[in-house]
Amino acid sequence: MEIFWYVIIAVVLVVFFVLDGYDFGTGIIHLFFAKTEKDKEVITKSAGLFWDSNEVWLVAAGGMLFMAFPTFYASVFSGFYLPLIIVLWLIIFRAIGLEFRGQFKYQMWKDIWDASFGVSSLLLALFFGIALGNIVRGVNLGGVDNGVSAHEGHYFFLPLWDSSFSPLAAHPGVIDWFTIIIGLISVVTLAIHGANWVILKTNSSINKKLKGVIFKLNIVLSALTIFSLFVWQLVNPNSLDNFMHKPYLIIFPLIYLTGLIGLFFIKKIKKDIHAFVLSTLLIVGGITSSLASMFPVLLPSIHGTHEHLTIYNTAASEYGLSVALNWGIIGFILLFVYMIIQKRLMGGKVDKMDYGH
């Protein structure tokens, strides 16, 4: 049952980053490339019509994590308290930026909420990438100092950064040079995904320009990906062991590579949906490759005093996991019906759809 719920939660998280990921990316595109009022309005609309339903998946993932792996949930929600609060505020300001923009026609009013939407989207993409960097890097479980544990083995607390700014420090912070690299990969990936979404859902005047932007960002992403593999080996020399011992896991990096290579042909792709699928493969492949490299570990310990947090030592009881299955099936049916209806109602281009007035 532990593996079952791990897979289910992983799927829900991947769906969230695919769906809300294009919202984050749309905000980044809006911030840097939308210059005319018409483009700003339609690009905002392409995110505003979907953001609330997309974030349902984040709520679902949090609820299932609390149900299935309560020890892990308690550990990360206390240990990553500071960045989680920052993410919460960024989600709030992104949402109100979308919802408040169209309430008045004063230009200063629109500019304020445009900035709120764009900057919050950029920082959310960065912080979610930094969060993944922390997960794959590991933390000082138990607050061990000179071999002496100050807390229980599942407890930790990270400052936003350590004075050394190094992932190899005994007490690393949330932000260091390694997690920043993963954060930048996240920003570039979601910017590509958001650009493909804008092209797919709008008739914006910058759509043709965005294909050139995607091509350039893909070059940057390729360089960052190669560089991150080298530094990942420095931070965690055993990071590729799972792929060596279980060769079938190579399917996940191949998914990522398919999206990465395919996007180099963005200018030749005729159907917009095909480009969107390729950027979706980037997100799916990137997240699943990270999870596959760690399995069954959920959060690594950077020292030998306390064992890693895994799906086995943080899971709820077998009875609790089995009972939750029945309610989970009902919840998933409702979730998928909601998503299908919403996507059908919002099918096609959004240019003439009403939002924010």
Please tell me the pTM assigned to this model. Answer: 0.92
- Structural contact between residues 214 and 266, judged by C-beta atoms closer than 8 angstroms: yes
- How far is the C-alpha of 297 from the C-alpha of 314, rounded, in Å? 10
36 pLDDT exceeds 70? yes
146 pLDDT exceeds 90? no
Q: Which of 74-88, 161-175, 262-276 is predicted least confidently? A: 161-175
**Domain spans of the chain?**
2-137+161-296+321-345
- The mean of the pLDDT values for the chain is 89
How many contiguous H segments (helices) and E segments (strands) does the chain have?
13, 2
- How far is the C-alpha of 48 from the C-alpha of 22, rounded, in Å? 11
Q: Which of 217-226, 270-279, 329-338 is predicted least confidently? A: 329-338
Can you tell me the mean pLDDT for 255-261?
A: 95
- Grade residue 179 by pLDDT with cuts at 50, 70 and 90: very high
130 pLDDT exceeds 90? yes
190 pLDDT exceeds 60? yes
- Grade residue 163 by pLDDT with cuts at 50, 70 and 90: confident
Can you tell me the mean pLDDT for 304-331?
A: 84
Number of C-beta neighbours around residue 3 at 10 A: 12
Q: Which of 14-18, 171-175, 229-233, 329-333 is predicted least confidently? A: 329-333
User: Under 8 Å CB-to-CB from 36, ≥6 apart: which residues?
Assistant: 205
Q: What is the DSSP string of 247-308?
A: GGGGHHHHHHHHHHHHGGGGGG--SHHHHHHHHHHHHHHHHHHHHHHHTTEEE-BSSSSSPP
User: Under 8 Å CB-to-CB from 148, ≥6 apart: which residues?
Assistant: none
356 pLDDT exceeds 60? no
Tell me whether the omega of the peptide bond preceding residue 296 falls within 30 degrees of 0, making it cis.
yes
User: Under 8 Å CB-to-CB from 136, ≥6 apart: which residues?
Assistant: 182, 232, 236, 239, 290, 293, 294, 300
Phi/psi at 195 (nearest 5 deg)? -65, -40
Can you give the pLDDT at residue 348? Answer: 80
Can you give the pLDDT at residue 144? Answer: 77
Can you give the pLDDT at residue 84? Answer: 92
- Single out the residue of 345, 41, 357 nearest to residue 204, CA to CA: 41
The percentage of residues in the chain with a pLDDT greater than 90, rounded to a whole number, is 48
Helix (H, G, I), strand (E, B) or coil at 338: helix
Paired tokens of 103:
């309430």
Q: Which of 40-44, 151-155, 162-166, 297-301 is predicted least confidently? A: 151-155
User: Under 8 Å CB-to-CB from 68, ≥6 apart: which residues?
Assistant: 2, 5, 6, 9, 315, 316, 321, 324
The number of residues in the chain equals 357
CATH 1.20.1630 assigned to domain 2-137+161-296+321-345? The reply is yes
DSSP-assigned beta bridge partners for residue 145: 148
Can you give the pLDDT at residue 252? Answer: 95
Helix (H, G, I), strand (E, B) or coil at 145: strand
Can you tell me the mean pLDDT for 215-238?
A: 93
57 pLDDT exceeds 70? yes
- How far is the C-alpha of 158 from the C-alpha of 253, rounded, in Å? 30
- Grade residue 15 by pLDDT with cuts at 50, 70 and 90: very high
Can you give the pLDDT at residue 22? Answer: 92
Paired tokens of 113:
């909420």
Can you give the pLDDT at residue 91? Answer: 93
